[in-house]
Amino acid sequence: MLYRSLTSHPAIGGISNSGVPEDEGQHLQSVYPPARHHGGPGRFGFDEGARLTESSPLVTPANRERLMAEWGRYWSGDRAILAEKSPPNIIRARFLQALFPDATFVMMIRHPVAVACATRKWSRTSLASLIRHWLRCHDILAADATLIERLQVVQYEHFVKDPGREVGRVVSSLGLQGAVPSPPVDASVNDRYFRSWRTGGTRLGRAVRDRSVVRHEAAVNRFGYSLLDLERLPPRGLLTADGSPDVLPARPTP
């Protein structure tokens, strides 16, 4: 939803009509393996080979040009800013920044329970494993954040409550003027996942899940969420609840 809203701005072009799932750029290039080569959704973060940084031998001028050419087949129009969206970017921002030094990274963070419930149909792994995967990926992002020059964080929970405000904040950080239409959102989706989390599965399965996830409560709290108090809202615009690392200042208007 955030991607579609941002790419409705006349200065931002997105990938469209590509024929791949969710028009994700990871499936439209030949420079680095997509997530499916590292286990797929809910698994890729556990594979050390999935994480890429500026030290990767894939960071070359030729690969930059290849990505521009391969994604360029699907980018819409001649826009000042070109957008690409793929979930594994959460652990590859430093790599992409090395290839595209002027890039801004917009990371949407969502409650780990909602992410786990939504991902399970693709990963076919346990909810406890999916919570661990969420933490793995977000811990990498938090560690990388101080090295990402331009990073904007949007919490899904704040976005669905006031999409216009959150999209406007990102657009402003890009040095752009003008509003974009607020997308239609269903603010109750997380609640449905929370009900499933509380009531789904067998009694034994719930007990095993609960013992497992309580172990991760403190780690999840770091990002402003809770596995026990599901309705707790994280601080707006911060990657970690204590503000460290914080998102960096907005890019100045050119």
Query: For the chain, which domains are there?
Result: 2-221 (3.40.50)
The answer on pLDDT for 251 being more than 60 is no
The answer on pLDDT for 22 being more than 70 is yes
Identify the residue with better confidence: 254 or 151.
151
- In angstroms, rounded to a whole number, what is the distance separating the alpha carbons of residues 26 and 191? 30
Identify the residue with better confidence: 129 or 245.
129
Structure-block tokens of residue 179: 């509003």
The answer on pLDDT for 12 being more than 50 is yes
Structure-block tokens of residue 35: 């997530």
Q: What is the pLDDT of residues 52-107, one digit of tens each?
A: 999 999 999 999 999 999 999 999 778 999 999 999 999 999 999 999 999 999 99
Give the closest residue to 17 by CA, choosing from 66, 74, 56, 73. 74
The answer on pLDDT for 253 being more than 50 is no
Residue 168 CB coordination number (10 Å): 17
- In angstroms, rounded to a whole number, what is the distance separating the alpha carbons of residues 209 and 192? 18
Half-sphere CA count of 131, side-chain side, radius 13 A: 22
Structure-block tokens of residue 30: 């030949």
User: Backbone phi, then psi, for 32, in 5-degree steps?
Assistant: -135, 155
**DSSP-based three-state secondary structure for 200:** coil
Calculate the dihedral angle through the C-alpha atoms of 119, 121, 125, 130, rounding to the nearest 10 degrees: 10
- Confidence band for 199, pLDDT divided at 50, 70 and 90: confident
The answer on pLDDT for 254 being more than 50 is no
Least confident of 8-17, 92-101, 160-169, 176-185: 176-185
**What does pLDDT average to over the chain?**
90
Structure-block tokens of residue 127: 């909810």
The answer on pLDDT for 246 being more than 50 is no
Q: What is the pLDDT of residue 152?
A: 94
